[in-house]
Amino acid sequence: MAETLHILQTAQRWLETGQVVYLFHVAQTWGSSPRPPGSLMAVNDSGQHIGSVSGGCVEADLFKRIDNNEFRHQQITLIEYSNTTHRHITLPCRGQMLILLETIDNVKPLQTIIDAIETRNSVVRQISLDPIQVTYSQTPLPCANFDGHTLSEPYGPTWRVLLIGANDLAMHVARQCLLLNYEVIISEPREEYRQNWQLSDCELTPLMPDEAVEKYVNDEHSAVLALTHDPRLDDLAIVQALYSPAFYIGALGSKRSAERRKITLATMDIDPEQIQRLDAPIGLNIGSRSPAEISVAIAARLIQVRNTSVASIQSLAGQLV
């Protein structure tokens, strides 16, 4: 969601300068598709763009059509791409995609979404074709859905990761998480470590680990990674995180230290099911050794857990429909 927020905020800045913005939404796909439903791309009438709806061929065609003023007077419309409708554009594996175009000339249509994301709230934006209208709902929706008449898109909190410790490994992990569009926060109460931190795109807080978890980990879009290798700090975060809604809690260390930690947690009257939420040793087992390699293993594990969690929610939602 961090990428979505960046796209929308950029579009907002364009609108504030008086430019028209074309907002392209991936509404539906069949077969292989480079971007899932809900993906966004914004283009202004000067030709600047941000985001993506495909691997490049669809974008090139859309840019050309904007240059030809084809969309100038179309408020909301559907655009289909397939090997049948556009033979000069070959989508992979005979894929097809529907793109919904929204032409916007003021900031109001985007403000509700931006406000929801920035305040870590959720909202579903519904764009209807007949009659053309945009409405909002608080009814939870796991993913974007197009029923042939209305495109419903959920917007909510950005994915956030709280790192415990501002050491060399945390620096590499932070870089990986930023590439994955996480909001990155580092809890580091030790001044000497804070002074050596070099990434400006992260929030560095002197809060103690348990205090940082309490402040920043308040929804299921958050993860906690204990990376100091010092139980005096890591365990503060872990105990607090086990009572939080975090979708992932991981800790650095060997298998032996992980078992000892879980035994200690059991003596603290923490529910066994909660203790099982702790993933330790952290990261996928890919034989990583250096901090850079370990950061890749940790990032891969985050991807695995998050995508599995999202897929489970989507599957459950499908069964309830």
Domains in the chain, please, with CATH?
2-155 (no CATH), 160-300 (3.40.50.720)
- The one-letter amino acid at 163: L
- Per-residue pLDDT of the chain (321 residues), as tens digits, is 578 999 999 999 999 999 999 999 999 988 766 788 999 999 998 889 999 998 777 888 899 888 888 887 788 999 988 766 554 565 655 678 899 999 998 888 899 999 999 999 999 999 999 889 999 998 888 889 999 999 999 998 989 999 999 999 999 999 999 999 899 999 999 999 999 999 999 999 999 999 999 999 999 999 999 999 999 999 999 999 999 999 999 999 999 999 999 999 999 989 999 999 999 999 999 999 899 999 999 999 999 999 887 655 444 344 433
- Asked whether the beta carbons of 284 and 304 are under 8 A apart, the reply is yes
Contacts 24+ apart (CB under 8 A), 129-135: 129/76, 129/78, 132/75, 132/76, 134/109
> Which residue type does 247 have?
F
pTM here? 0.82
Angle at which helices 168-179 and 291-320 pack, to 10 degrees? 40
Q: Which single residue is written with the structure tokens 């069964």?
A: 319
C-alpha pair distances (Å), 301 with each of 146, 257, 275, 282, 304: 31, 19, 18, 8, 5
Q: How far apart are CA 154 and CA 196, in angstroms?
A: 39
Nearest CA-CA partner of 80 in 52, 105, 103, 54:
54
Give the integer Cα–Cα distance in Å for 99 and 62.
10
> For residue 209, what are its two tokens?
């680990």
Compute the distance between CA of residue 132 and CA of residue 127 in angstroms, rounded to an integer.
Answer: 7
* Residue 268: its H or E element: none
CA distance linking residue 1 with residue 157, whole number of Å: 7
